[in-house]
């Protein structure tokens, strides 16, 4: 009874449970007697005979099974078992084929995705030049080439290559084994930027065939009947054309070549300037960053100047100070190098003294030339200012100059006594004759004595100038600064010069009643006398000489200008005019006398007063000299 109840309960299992049990039976996990009553639906004939075989994959793993059942016991024979095994084998083959087909489809999809995503354009061409297949990049390029009027292809004997001839010729060369160089192609992309491509072709062979290059001078398909069928030559079915974007590669190559050429020129220039005996360096930017320097530059500064470092940082980092030739500290903004890059002015023959960290000093002569942006290869507003600076060690020259100045000082000092005696006797004769005392003198004798008096006066003035030069060079010139009315000082000079210069219209103008500055009255009168005398001397045809004195209260400076309508100064002579013994060429040609010391003394005296002197001049139209001085500000309060 219990067995019947157990069998009835088993009959209630679902078909799904029966299938799982059948699978377990095929794997030898369930006894066949237990399998009889499992999953049998109501009313179904009772199966009394079973025949089963496992379904194996190619690795021998059980993937399923095939079961046969019959209502009669012992129905299946060995032949039935053979047939079942054969059916199972066929089913396994079918399942394997299905799996392989699915895997092939997946692989094909993956290859298609890879083919389409390749950045280079790839085109497959048959032996006749017919396009078989192309990826997205190649399709885009082909369409662009067919419609782009800006396209440039390699030229052949018959003119520009068409798209069809490009593909056909590339395939033909590949089939002949002549890979050669790629065909250059340029076109504009969607952003209207030029792109460069190199088109290469190679033979297309089935998988598993030799992939080496074809033998030259051998056709891809021989018509010779002696050619053996199935040879490697017959296996070539077309060509693969690759469109490789070389825009960035060629840009990098051009940049590399340009960099190499620049470095070669730089090395060549470096080799040249390293042989120069003076310090030479190139700076750029308003902060004067170093670009190039020779070996002597390190000797001049006493320290190595790193590439790209601003000059102010370099001086501060190495404890280097720069002074005027008279020893007064020089502000960084007044350095010839910074004046050249910041103001665009070329500074010539500027004397500086370099004081190193260890206390040693080195006098140098500086020439800083502001470079034209056009020379640097760019527009005015797009190129940083640059300057080439030359420092010449003038220690030996300074020593020679010291000896020369010492000799001049001695000579000038020794000349003062005989000149004073000669001038005194000449003036005595003139005065005594005018008073009617002594023997009367004839007219020519009076003229001779007057010439002697004037010549001795000129010699005395020259002697004083030479002595002033030696005092300046030796640092022995002392200034006694007192508050002085510049307007009164200028009027005194004009009054003294008006008598011998009657053909000139001398005038002084000022908006203020007085303009006071702290100056040495005698020395500053010497400056005004030199400048106004020059205005008269270099205006041989006469004309106006106007002295204007003004004050700039915001800047707390007094500005004096002396304007003439004379011969002017040639542009080529202007940069060196404040040097010692420097004179304009047109003055020499006109026979206008002078020593070339006056403007040098004016500059030195003005700068020692804390001022500045400069000029504006046009040859043939006259000159205007300017002096700026700090105003004397009275800080005392009225009680």
Residue 15 has a pLDDT of 54
Residues 525, 423 within the same domain: no
Residue 3 has a pLDDT of 42
Mean pLDDT of the chain: 80
> Would residue 190 count as lying in a domain?
yes
Helices and strands: H and E segment counts in the chain:
16, 23
Q: Beta partners for 66? A: 53
Query: Is pLDDT of 154 > 60?
Result: no
Residues 300, 381 within the same domain: yes
Tell me the per-residue pLDDT of 248-278, one tens digit each, with 9 for 90 and over.
Answer: 888 888 889 998 998 999 899 999 999 999 9
Instruction: Return the structure tokens found at 215.
Output: 């033998």
Q: In terms of pLDDT, which residue wins out, 441 or 451? A: 451
Residues 486, 619 within the same domain: yes
Q: In terms of pLDDT, which residue wins out, 170 or 19? A: 170
Query: Is pLDDT of 368 > 70?
Result: yes
CATH number for the domain harbouring residue 504: 3.30.565.10
Query: Is pLDDT of 591 > 80?
Result: yes
Of the ranges 93-97, 417-421, 524-528, the best mean pLDDT one: 524-528
What's the mean pLDDT in 303-324? 94
**pTM of this structure:** 0.43
Residues 283, 358 within the same domain: yes
Compute how many other C-beta atoms are within 10 angstroms of the C-beta atom of residue 22.
Answer: 21
Residues 122, 183 within the same domain: yes
Contact at 8 Å (CB) between 628 and 559?
yes
Tell me the per-residue pLDDT of 315-366, one tens digit each, with 9 for 90 and over.
Answer: 999 999 999 877 788 888 889 999 999 998 899 888 899 999 988 999 999 9
Choosing from 474, 492, 518, the residue where a domain stops is 474
Query: What domain range includes position 316?
Result: 276-393
CA-to-CA dists, residue 283 to 306, 353, 364, 429, angstroms: 12, 20, 18, 66
Choosing from 113, 132, 152, the residue where a domain stops is 113
> Would residue 404 count as lying in a domain?
yes
Residue 104 has a pLDDT of 92
Query: Is pLDDT of 304 > 90?
Result: yes
Residues 281, 379 within the same domain: yes
Say how many CA atoms lie within 13 Å of 125 toward its Cβ.
28
> Would residue 620 count as lying in a domain?
yes
Tell me the per-residue pLDDT of 592-635, one tens digit each, with 9 for 90 and over.
Answer: 888 888 899 999 999 999 999 999 999 999 999 999 999 987 66
Lowest mean pLDDT among 27-41, 167-181, 229-243, 278-292: 27-41
> Would residue 455 count as lying in a domain?
yes
What's the mean pLDDT in 22-51? 64
Residue 391 has a pLDDT of 95
Query: Based on the structure, what is the number of domains in the chain?
Result: 5
Instruction: Return the structure tokens found at 17.
Output: 């449970």
> Would residue 259 count as lying in a domain?
no
Query: Is pLDDT of 6 > 50?
Result: no
Q: Based on C-alpha coordinates, what's the Rg of the chain?
A: 53
Residues 442, 537 within the same domain: no
Q: In terms of pLDDT, which residue wins out, 38 or 108? A: 108
The Cα–Cα gap between 545 and 623 comes to 10
Query: Is pLDDT of 242 > 80?
Result: yes
Of the ranges 29-43, 105-119, 217-231, 365-379, the best mean pLDDT one: 105-119
Residues 84, 13 within the same domain: yes
Residue 318 has a pLDDT of 94
> Would residue 638 count as lying in a domain?
no
Q: In terms of pLDDT, which residue wins out, 472 or 313? A: 313
> φ, ψ for residue 474 (rounded to 5)?
-90, 0
Choosing from 65, 85, 113, the residue where a domain stops is 113
Tell me the per-residue pLDDT of 473-515, one tens digit each, with 9 for 90 and over.
Answer: 777 788 899 999 999 999 999 988 876 667 788 899 998 888 9
> Would residue 572 count as lying in a domain?
yes
Residue 226 has a pLDDT of 42
Lowest mean pLDDT among 11-20, 23-32, 114-123: 11-20
Residues 422, 362 within the same domain: no
Encode 543-579: b = buried (16+ Cβ within 10 Å), e = exposed: bebbbbbebeeeeebbbbbbbbbbbbbbeebbeebbe
CATH number for the domain harbouring residue 165: 3.30.450.20
> Would residue 522 count as lying in a domain?
yes
Residue 158 has a pLDDT of 40
Residues 17, 83 within the same domain: yes
Residues 123, 92 within the same domain: no
Residue 178 has a pLDDT of 65
Residues 500, 618 within the same domain: yes
Tell me the per-residue pLDDT of 521-563, one tens digit each, with 9 for 90 and over.
Answer: 999 999 999 999 999 988 887 788 999 999 887 768 999 999 9
């Amino acid at each position: 009874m219990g067995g019947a109840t157990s069998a009835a309960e088993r009959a209630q299992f679902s078909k799904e449970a029966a299938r799982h049990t059948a699978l377990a039976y095929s794997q030898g996990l369930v006894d066949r007697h237990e399998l009889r009553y499992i999953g049998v639906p109501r009313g179904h004939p009772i199966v009394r005979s079973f025949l089963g075989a496992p379904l194996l994959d190619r690795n021998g793993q059980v993937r399923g099974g095939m079961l046969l059942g019959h209502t009669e016991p012992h129905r299946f024979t060995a032949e039935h078992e053979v047939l079942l095994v054969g059916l199972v084998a066929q089913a396994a083959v079918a399942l394997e084929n299905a799996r392989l087909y699915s895997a092939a489809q997946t692989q094909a999809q993956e290859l298609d995705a890879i083919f389409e995503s390749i950045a280079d354009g790839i085109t497959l061409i048959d032996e006749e030049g017919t396009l078989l297949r192309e990826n997205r990049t190649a399709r885009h390029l082909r369409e662009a080439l067919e419609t782009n009027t800006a396209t440039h292809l390699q030229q052949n004997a018959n003119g520009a290559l068409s798209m069809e001839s490009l593909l056909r010729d590339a395939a033909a060369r590949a089939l002949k084994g002549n890979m050669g160089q790629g065909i250059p192609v340029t076109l504009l992309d969607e952003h209207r930027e030029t792109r460069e491509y190199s088109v290469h072709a190679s033979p297309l062979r089935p998988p598993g065939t030799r992939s080496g290059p074809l033998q030259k001078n051998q056709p891809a398909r021989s018509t010779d009947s002696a050619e053996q069928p199935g040879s490697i030559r017959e296996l070539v079915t077309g060509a693969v054309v690759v469109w490789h974007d070389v825009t960035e590669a060629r840009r990098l190559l051009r940049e590399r070549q340009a960099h190499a050429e620049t470095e070669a020129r730089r090395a060549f220039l470096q080799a040249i300037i390293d042989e120069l005996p003076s310090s030479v360096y190139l700076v750029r930017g308003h902060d004067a960053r170093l670009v190039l320097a020779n070996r002597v530059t390190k000797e001049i500064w006493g320290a190595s100047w790193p590439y790209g470092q601003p000059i102010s940082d370099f001086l501060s980092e190495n404890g280097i100070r720069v002074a005027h030739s008279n020893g007064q500290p020089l502000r960084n903004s007044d350095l010839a190098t910074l004046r050249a890059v910041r103001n665009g002015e070329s500074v010539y023959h500027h004397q500086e003294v370099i004081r190193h960290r260890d206390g040693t000093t080195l006098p140098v002569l500086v020439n800083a030339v502001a470079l034209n942006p056009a020379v640097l290869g760019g527009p005015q507003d797009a190129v940083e200012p640059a300057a080439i600076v030359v420092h010449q060690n003038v220690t030996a020259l300074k020593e020679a100059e010291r000896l020369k100045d010492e000799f001049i000082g001695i000579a000038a000092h020794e000349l003062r006594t005989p000149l004073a005696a000669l001038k005194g006797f000449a003036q005595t004769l003139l005065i005594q004759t005018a008073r009617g005392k002594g023997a009367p003198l004839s007219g020519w004798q009076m003229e001779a004595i007057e010439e002697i008096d004037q010549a001795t006066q000129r010699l005395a003035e020259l002697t004083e100038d030479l002595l002033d030069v030696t005092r300046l060079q030796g640092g022995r010139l002392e200034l006694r600064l007192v508050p002085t009315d510049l307007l009164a000082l200028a009027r005194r000079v004009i009054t003294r010069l008006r008598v011998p210069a009657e053909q000139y219209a001398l005038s002084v103008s000022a908006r203020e009643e007085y303009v006071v500055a702290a100056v040495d009255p005698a020395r500053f009168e010497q400056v005004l006398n030199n400048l106004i005398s020059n205005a008269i001397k270099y205006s041989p045809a006469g004309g106006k000489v106007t002295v204007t004195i003004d004050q700039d209260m915001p800047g707390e400076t007094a500005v004096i200008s002396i304007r003439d309508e004379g011969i002017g100064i040639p542009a080529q002579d202007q940069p060196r005019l404040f040097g010692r013994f420097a004179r304009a060429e047109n003055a020499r040609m006109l026979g206008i006398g002078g020593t070339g010391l006056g403007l040098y003394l004016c500059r030195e005296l003005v700068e020692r007063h804390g001022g500045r002197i400069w000029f504006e001049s046009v040859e043939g139209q006259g000159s205007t000299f300017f002096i700026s001085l700090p105003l004397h500000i009275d800080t005392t309060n009225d009680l």
